[in-house]
Structure 1
Amino acid sequence: MKYLHTLLALLLLGAFSACGGDIEPGTVNGPTTEYHPEAEARAQVVETPRLHEAVGSVQAKTDVRVEAQVTGRVMEVAVRPGDAVKTGDVLVKLDSRQSESRLEQTRQAQQAAVSTEAQARQGVAAAQAAFTKASSTFKRMSQLHEDKVITTEELEKAETAFLQAKAVLAQARDGLAAAQASARQVEKNVQEAEIGLGYTTITAPADGEVSQRFVDPGDLAIPGKDLLNLRTSGGMRLEAMVREGLIGHVRMGQSLEMIITALGETPVTGQVEEIEPLADPVTRSFVVKVTLPDLPGLYPGMFGRVLIPLGSERTITVPTAAIRSVGQLKTVMVRDGERWLPVYVRTGRPAGDGVEILSGLNGGETVALDTARGAK
């Protein structure tokens, strides 16, 4: 009797093979009254969530692309993928000789501009003094001419000297303004050269981890060309494709369960933080982004599934110990009065301490348990 249920299952398997493998769930292979189970249980009918699995990949929330701001030969790459970096850490150094030469030239030009401006100020001061003297002389000569002390010719000479001094002062002031404008422009050139030199040393814009490296010493760096990819401390999220017929079941801020296959089948919970408003015209799907908690061993690019609830469904479950397996054939011993009938069933997903029965049982049946063997 100990191996009676195995014998019955083998008989069913023989019948399964004889029928070309086409045994329908619910099929019985004849009753037995001699079978005595170790324990009994009932096939339960429960309402379980109906879920759709949307597949996707783990992505970093804030990937920073590190690019060059100036053209230059790569002299040194100080980091490798996986290295942790802090804000301001040196990542890449470019050839700085051309930038240093330009900065030196602009600084020399700045010194010359400062000297020219100083000379222009001195010229204005001298022209102002000459103008003040000529103006005073012209006023005095005008008064003397009114008193008929000097001749008209002498007054005209004083007026001519006054006008000449006024023109020289205006010219000196124009020269000073030009010298000041030139000095300001040269100062800007120096600042640009200093910035350009600073761009030859590329530093980390934020704390994070180097995820990708695209250059090596000797490569040419140009603006717009990626040098490194930096994953900052903004966390991870799962970006999944949800087909258009199901996007109505997803909303912003909704809590959804996810399964990261590489980390096991235990679901983790996150919130929907973004739903792209345009569907992919090829797949007819929307990209849904769900935040992920901090998990050890979680890396960008890992495969994951988002479980989207679509309501509930009637499910029949039995304890795992009720299932007998021989090859691909699964049976459950069901009580029929005083008899036990081996019934072929089709199983589904695990359901708590039991297993889902997709077909073969209607719910409420008394099933036999083999607690020592469990599921085979």
Structure 2
Amino acid sequence: MRTEKRLHQLIGVAAALLILLAAGCKDKIHEGNTSQETRPIVKANTAVAEIVKQPEIYEASGTIQPRTAAVLSAKVMGEIKKILVREGDVVKAGDLLIKIEDSQIAAQLRQAEAALAEANQAAQAAQAGFEAAQASMSLAQKTFDRYESLLKNDSVSLQEYDEVKGKHEQATGALAQAKSMRDASHNKIEQVKAALEAARTTYQDTSITAPYDATVTGKMVNLGDMAAPGVPLLKLEDTGSYEVYMVLPESYIRYVSVGDKLSVVVPSLQSASFDAIIKTINPAADPTIRSFQLKAGLPDVPQIRAGMFARVMIPVGETEIILIPDTALVHHGQLTGAYIVDAEKITHFRLVRTGRVFDTQVEVLSGINKGDVYITHVDEKTVDGAQVEEI
């Protein structure tokens, strides 16, 4: 009996609460069948829901990389004597970054320079000898020509003619030898110059310099380490000049071309958006993922860093959707809705499911159909079951 009495009491309390709740909500939400005399009046603008064509966007995941990057490696073997930069340092083209031990290479360079000086002296001597041989040859030729003419007139003896002829032949041989020595000295100079140039290049290779204005992003060696040809020393990036790398499924590749403009969003920069221009499209797809690699150039933005994640918006055709202004939406906790206006200008609250946001416009996935009339700007006076007066 006590249990039964207790149950009746609980039922009574519940009924009382329901009555109070209904009374409290009466002034807030008006049923659609409320009589015309008791309906509140709402002044508002309305619009007709229409289907619009909107670009279909494929969101690709991208990685930001420097447009120009280089790994500087050693070309000579030697101990690293100086490291003049640290990671993060900004350098100019031609700045000295690392110095490798050069004493032995410097000695070889001095030897090559001395060899060139010696070769130049030898060439000068050979040239002087050649010029002297030319003078002797000229005199011998004139004497020989004169004696040859005198011999025809029997003005000189045959013995005298033979002596002059012999001197002419000696001068001819001496000139040929002098010319050969001169040519050899010139060839020697070219050989020594080549050796000197090689020595200079090797000496220059002991100084690692920046090939362009850049930022040091990696240091792979320490002071005292042994450098060797091919061993990486530093990594440089041309900061301020970046590109975004992404892949696009083969089904969408027909929608893009070199020179197209894309929108790039970088979440780590508070979702900042930048315009990017497609620079290259790999002509061959990756057969493992059936996608093409694209590369798009970014504007010079100081905050951008290599390795950042980016979302790339790629237009891939058009789609038909319903868009309404965000001011037409009402949010109640996890629920979103809008006020539909019927033919009698009565408001009806309807739950809607939204999709993408385009500036101040919101995509409606369900809840509003083409031709529905809705209130474009909802305020605190807008309620269900109200009579709408157009502003």
Relative to the length of structure 1, the TM-score reads 0.76
Higher deviation after alignment, 206-215 or 339-348? 339-348
Q: Does 1:277 align with 2:283?
A: yes
Aligned to 1:80: 86
Q: Is the 8 A contact 2:260 2:278 kept in 1?
A: yes
What is the rounded CA distance, in whole Å, between the counterparts of 2:168 and 2:374 in structure 1? 125
Q: Does 1:324 align with 2:323?
A: no
What is the rounded CA distance, in whole Å, between the counterparts of 2:57 and 2:293 in structure 1? 18
Q: Is the 8 A contact 2:323 2:361 kept in 1?
A: no
Task: Give the 3 Å change call, closer, same or farther, for CA 214–313 of structure 1 in structure 2.
Answer: farther
Q: Does 1:170 align with 2:176?
A: yes
Q: Residue 35 of structure 1: which of 4, 17, 28 is its match?
A: 28
Higher deviation after alignment, 46-55 or 61-70? 61-70
State how 1:285-304 maps to structure 2 within 5 Å. 285-304=291-310
How far the C-alpha of 1:360 sits from its partner, in A, is: 4.2
Task: Give the 3 Å change call, closer, same or farther, for CA 147–288 of structure 1 in structure 2.
Answer: closer
Aligned to 1:251: 257
How far the C-alpha of 1:59 sits from its partner, in A, is: 1.6
How far the C-alpha of 1:301 sits from its partner, in A, is: 0.9
Q: Is the 8 A contact 2:220 2:234 kept in 1?
A: yes
How far the C-alpha of 1:315 sits from its partner, in A, is: 3.0
Aligned to 1:196: 202
RMSD of aligned C-alpha atoms? 3.5
Q: Does 1:314 align with 2:321?
A: yes
Aligned residues: 338
Task: Give the 3 Å change call, closer, same or farther, for CA 249–153 of structure 1 in structure 2.
Answer: same
Q: Residue 240 of structure 1: which of 218, 243, 246 is its match?
A: 246
Q: Residue 104 of structure 2: which of 98, 103, 122 is its match?
A: 98
Q: Is the 8 A contact 1:272 1:288 kept in 2?
A: yes
Aligned to 1:161: 167
Task: Give the 3 Å change call, closer, same or farther, for CA 352–190 of structure 1 in structure 2.
Answer: closer
Which secondary structure does the structure 1 equivalent of 2:251 belong to? coil
Task: Give the 3 Å change call, closer, same or farther, for CA 366–36 of structure 1 in structure 2.
Answer: farther
How far the C-alpha of 1:237 sits from its partner, in A, is: 2.0
Relative to the length of structure 2, the TM-score reads 0.73
Q: Structure 2, unaligned stretches of length 5 or more?
A: 1-24, 31-39, 382-391
Higher deviation after alignment, 201-210 or 353-362? 353-362
What is the rounded CA distance, in whole Å, between the counterparts of 1:296 and 1:140 in structure 2? 89
Aligned to 1:24: none
What is the rounded CA distance, in whole Å, between the counterparts of 2:175 and 2:65 in structure 1? 70
Aligned to 2:21: none
What is the rounded CA distance, in whole Å, between the counterparts of 2:138 and 2:335 in structure 1? 117
Q: Does 1:358 align with 2:365?
A: yes
Letter in 1 for 2:114: Q
What is the rounded CA distance, in whole Å, between the counterparts of 1:92 and 1:207 in structure 2? 16
Task: Give the 3 Å change call, closer, same or farther, for CA 97–150 of structure 1 in structure 2.
Answer: same
How far the C-alpha of 1:259 sits from its partner, in A, is: 0.8
State how 1:54-73 maps to structure 2 within 5 Å. 54-73=60-79
How far the C-alpha of 1:342 sits from its partner, in A, is: 7.5
Letter in 2 for 1:315: I
Q: Structure 1, unaligned stretches of length 5 or more?
A: 1-31
- What are the superposed Cα offsets for residues 52-80 of structure 1, whole Å, 9 maximum, x if unpaired? 10111112222244344444443222222
Which secondary structure does the structure 2 equivalent of 1:122 belong to? helix
